[in-house]
Amino acid sequence: MPFQKKTRAGEDDARAARSTKKRTSSRKGPSSLQPYIKKLSKREVSKDIRVSSDALGFLELLCDDVIDRISSRAVRLMRAKKSLTLNSTFVHGATSLEFPPLLSHKCHGAASKAVATLRAHKKASA
């Protein structure tokens, strides 16, 4: 008869209960911007608008590309200044360099409005 480890009473039951529990993964998959694009199109454009899945996919790729271009340019600016922190100044400069002047000016205005709204919301909830 093989060697059996002595266990305390109830320990086998606890092991059995743990093994039957459904385990959830702590890792999350890649995030999708599609729900946010849908919300934004309904709020900003028209409530009646419907967007096809192909159009959503295209818009998501466009957003990913823009975010990638801005972040890579901001990191290059950060390294040129020998800084260890990526802050809003570098992102501001990256948008100025990546986009045409009128579009970058509009981006800066929308970003400052969003930050001001966020700060006001945090202040009100605190």
Q: Are 69 and 98 in contact (CB under 8 A)?
A: yes
* pLDDT tens by residue, 112-122: 898 899 899 98
> Residue 41 gets which letter from DSSP?
I
Quick one: 49-126 is in which CATH superfamily?
A: Histone, subunit A (1.10.20.10)
Interatomic CA distance for residues 88 and 121, integer angstroms: 20
For the chain, what is the mean pLDDT?
A: 83
pLDDT digits (tens, 9 = 90+) for 53-81: 899 999 999 999 999 999 999 999 999 99
Q: Where are the alpha helices (H) located in the chain, listed in sequence order?
A: 11-20, 34-40, 53-80, 88-98, 101-125
| Residue among 51, 18, 25 nearest 37 (CA) | 51
Query: 41 or 85: which carries more pLDDT confidence?
Result: 85
How long is the chain?
126
